[in-house]
């Protein structure tokens, strides 16, 4: 009698645990088998690797190598920009021109559980971007500066095509950034050259105008000639005066004396004119002309040196810009997968089963503990 009562009490307990096993283990495992075994679409992965390089061909110093290694450990700005762009809405917009990206993931051959917008109520760009984030991955090896791009798609051709297009977009982005930096570096130097050329032309024109106005070519070269002429006239004057004194002593009534007096006056007048031209009247003298001409020459020489420095700076900027330009170098081209990598069906089902058994075991122990505590 006692044994039958115990058996009748044990039976409800066993049957009460069976629904828990069905809920915690059988049902999740069956759903996993249905989804991963029948419903889930094959996923093809296309991978590529690239690195952003610069054309810096200068000989690195020890400090430069140290700084370069430190920069590589954090990635270059261009590399970081390329990675950021690949996961941006701009990249998706470029991919989805003509709704191409959305169509590639909305084909009827794709499972309704995997395709984009299966219900027709979640087709906004933000929904597409969230979907995009789940199918494109960008990983970076900071120690080597290598970026790995992985694209998940439901056909091998789509995976490769999207990966290739994203690589081209990254190349375009890096090239655009490099060109913009090059232009920024060169533009300021070009402006300086333009201003220096204008200043040189203005200084040269001012000196030319002064030459025409003053009637001199180069006062510094003309002044010695002028003084040499005055010196010769003074020699002639001394000689003429000496002849007159001698003639006055020897022949006071000579008819040549008036002629000598006239010659002396002519020479004195010429000396006065030439001396005044050289250093007399400030407005017309070569001394005054030399002062103004020297100022204009200094302005012209300064403008010429400024132009030469600006041209040298422009040449250096162009060389530096070319040396620092960056580009995307492909290390691994996008592959065309010949086999679906995901989903890993057996692993997923086994993982679901193991996790379900763990949950069931924990739940069983909790319920048993509660019942024991209640009794």
Annotated domain spans of the chain? 40-187+324-374, 215-321
The Cα 290–Cα 279 span in angstroms is 10
Q: What angle do CA 286, 291, 295 make, to 5 degrees?
A: 140
Please give the residue that has the higher pLDDT: either 364 or 273.
364
- Mean pLDDT for 140-148 is 86
Q: In this predicted structure, what is the pLDDT of residue 62?
A: 46
Percent share of the chain, pLDDT over 90: 19
Q: Give the number of other CB atoms < 10 A from CB of residue 52.
A: 26
Q: Categorize the per-residue pLDDT at 87 as very low, low, confident or very high, splitting at 50, 70 and 90.
A: very high
Please give the residue that has the higher pLDDT: either 173 or 371.
173
Q: Categorize the per-residue pLDDT at 63 as very low, low, confident or very high, splitting at 50, 70 and 90.
A: very low
Q: In this predicted structure, what is the pLDDT of residue 230?
A: 59
Q: In this predicted structure, what is the pLDDT of residue 148?
A: 93
Segment 188-231, tens digit of pLDDT: 777 888 887 888 788 777 777 766 665 555 555 555 555 566 56
Segment 302-337, tens digit of pLDDT: 778 887 888 888 787 777 766 667 788 899 999 998
Q: In this predicted structure, what is the pLDDT of residue 101?
A: 92
The Cα 52–Cα 58 span in angstroms is 18
Segment 147-172, tens digit of pLDDT: 999 999 999 999 999 999 999 999 99
- pTM metric for this prediction: 0.60
Res 18 pLDDT > 80: no
Q: In this predicted structure, what is the pLDDT of residue 8?
A: 47
Please give the residue that has the higher pLDDT: either 22 or 297.
22
The Cα 208–Cα 217 span in angstroms is 9
What average pLDDT is seen over the chain?
A: 76
Segment 26-62, tens digit of pLDDT: 888 888 888 877 777 888 999 999 998 876 544 444 4
Q: Are the beta carbons of 337 and 20 closer than 8 angstroms?
A: no
Q: In this predicted structure, what is the pLDDT of residue 292?
A: 66
Q: In this predicted structure, what is the pLDDT of residue 167?
A: 94
Q: In this predicted structure, what is the pLDDT of residue 209?
A: 74
Q: In this predicted structure, what is the pLDDT of residue 105?
A: 92
Q: In this predicted structure, what is the pLDDT of residue 140?
A: 87
């Amino acid at each position: 009698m006692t044994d039958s009562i115990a058996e009748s009490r044990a039976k409800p307990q066993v049957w009460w645990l069976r629904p828990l096993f069905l809920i915690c283990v059988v049902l999740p495992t069956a759903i996993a088998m249905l989804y991963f075994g029948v419903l889930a679409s094959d996923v093809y992965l296309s991978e590529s690797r690239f690195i952003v390089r610069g054309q810096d061909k200068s000989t690195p110093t020890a400090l430069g190598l140290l700084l370069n290694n430190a920069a590589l450990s954090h990635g270059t700005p261009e590399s970081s920009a390329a990675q950021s762009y690949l996961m941006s809405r701009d990249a998706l917009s470029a991919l989805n021109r003509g709704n191409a990206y959305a169509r590639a993931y909305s084909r009827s051959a794709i499972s309704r559980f995997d395709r984009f917008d299966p219900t027709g109520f979640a087709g906004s760009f933000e929904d597409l971007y969230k979907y995009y984030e789940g199918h494109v991955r960008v990983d970076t090896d900071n120690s080597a500066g290598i970026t790995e791009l992985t694209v998940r798609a439901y056909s091998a051709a789509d995976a490769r095509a999207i990966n290739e297009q994203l690589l081209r977009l990254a190349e375009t982005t890096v090239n655009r950034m490099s060109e913009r930096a090059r232009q920024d570096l060169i533009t300021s130097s070009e402006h300086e050259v333009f201003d220096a050329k204008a200043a040189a032309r203005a200084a040269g024109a001012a000196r030319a105008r002064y030459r025409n106005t003053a009637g001199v070519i180069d006062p510094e070269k003309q002044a010695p000639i002028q003084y040499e002429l005055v010196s010769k006239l003074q020699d002639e004057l001394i000689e003429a005066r000496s002849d007159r004194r001698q003639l006055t002593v020897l022949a006071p009534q000579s008819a040549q004396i008036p002629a000598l007096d006239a010659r002396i006056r002519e020479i004195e007048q010429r000396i006065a004119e030439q001396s005044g031209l050289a250093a007399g009247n400030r407005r017309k003298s070569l001394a005054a002309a030399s002062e103004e001409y020297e100022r204009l020459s200094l302005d012209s020489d300064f403008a010429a040196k400024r132009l030469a420095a600006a041209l040298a700076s422009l040449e250096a900027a162009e060389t530096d810009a070319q040396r620092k330009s960056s580009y995307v170098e492909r290390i691994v081209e996008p592959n065309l997968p010949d086999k679906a990598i995901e989903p890993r069906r057996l692993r997923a089902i086994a993982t679901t089963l193991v996790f379900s058994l763990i949950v069931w075991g924990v739940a069983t122990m909790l319920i048993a503990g509660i019942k024991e505590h209640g009794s």
